[in-house]
Amino acid sequence: MILAYHRINKWYPDDALSVSPEMFESQIRFLLKEKYEPVSLYEYIKNNAHRRTFCVTFDDGFADNFFIAFPIMKKYGIKPIIFLIAHSIGTEKIHERYKDKEKDRYLKWKEVQEMLKSGVIFGSHTLTHPDLTKLPRKQVWSEIFESKKYIEKNIGQRIDFFCYPYGRQNEKIRQTVKNAGYAGAVITNWKGSFDSYSLPRIGIYGHNSLFTFRLKIWLKKLRIK
């Protein structure tokens, strides 16, 4: 299974995008206790999604992925993939729902580089996080292709995976992702058929209790069977 997170912090208990560090670690420990093996997205695709494995993903590239989530994941040998909003990384931009310039900032490129050294993978979440289904074709191509090149230039490595902003996409957008040179793409709350460019994820949010988390995992197992 592929788990989708955004932020890990203790600052915003009422924020759906923010999971507390304690809850995040409890979720990881539960999966390990249940004999799920943590794998990278590369390994997940290669070794078949039906195996008892899990992959951790983060959307957007918030700085708390580095300060808070990263040490927890290193502790348990987890190598996640973080999907970066390319033109927000290394800037002073703040997501509109937040206010604190330090707590709520996006990653700096030097932090991305440090995580790379520990096996963290990075992917694209477009240049600016638009709803791709509402853009003209030329702009869709720019958001998908140019973000790939921009991130690759800054990290010095090829990136192979894409994440659709808001989970919104269609057949033409999926084909554009493929044409841009990505090996696959992830999606949350997708009701259609699955392939390499619509890899299903389980969204994990701040309001999810450990019971809800376990229920989501159980329901996922039923769908796989």
The tens digit of pLDDT for each residue in 176-223 reads 999 999 999 999 877 777 889 999 999 999 999 999 999 999 887 666
Task: Annotate the chain with three-state secondary structure.
Answer: CEEEECEECCCCCCCCCEECHHHHHHHHHHHHHCCCEECCHHHHHHCCCCCCEEEEEEEECECHHHHHHHHHHHHCCCCCEEEECHHHCCCCCECCCCCCCCCCEECCHHHHHHHHCCCCEEEECCCCCCCHHHCCHHHHHHHHHHHHHHHHHHHCCCCCEEECHHHCCCHHHHHHHHHCCCCEEEEECCCCCCCCCCEEEEECCCCCCHHHHHHHHHHHHHHHC
Span 102-153, pLDDT tens digits: 999 999 999 999 999 999 999 999 999 999 999 999 999 999 999 999 999 9
Residue 21 pLDDT > 60: yes
**Residue-level pLDDT at 48:** 59
Q: Measured between alpha carbons, how far is 194 from 201 in angstroms, rounded to an integer?
A: 11
Q: Is the pTM of this model over 0.85?
A: yes
CB neighbours of residue 9 within 10 Å: 23
Q: How confident is the model at residue 159 (pLDDT cuts 50, 70, 90)?
A: very high
Q: Are the C-beta atoms of 42 and 97 separated by less than 8 Å?
A: no
| 3-class SS of residue 143 | helix
d(CA 89, CA 43): 26
Residue closest to 84 by CA, chosen among 116, 53, 54: 116
How many CB atoms sit inside 10 A of residue 47's CB?
A: 12
The pLDDT value recorded for residue 151 is 98
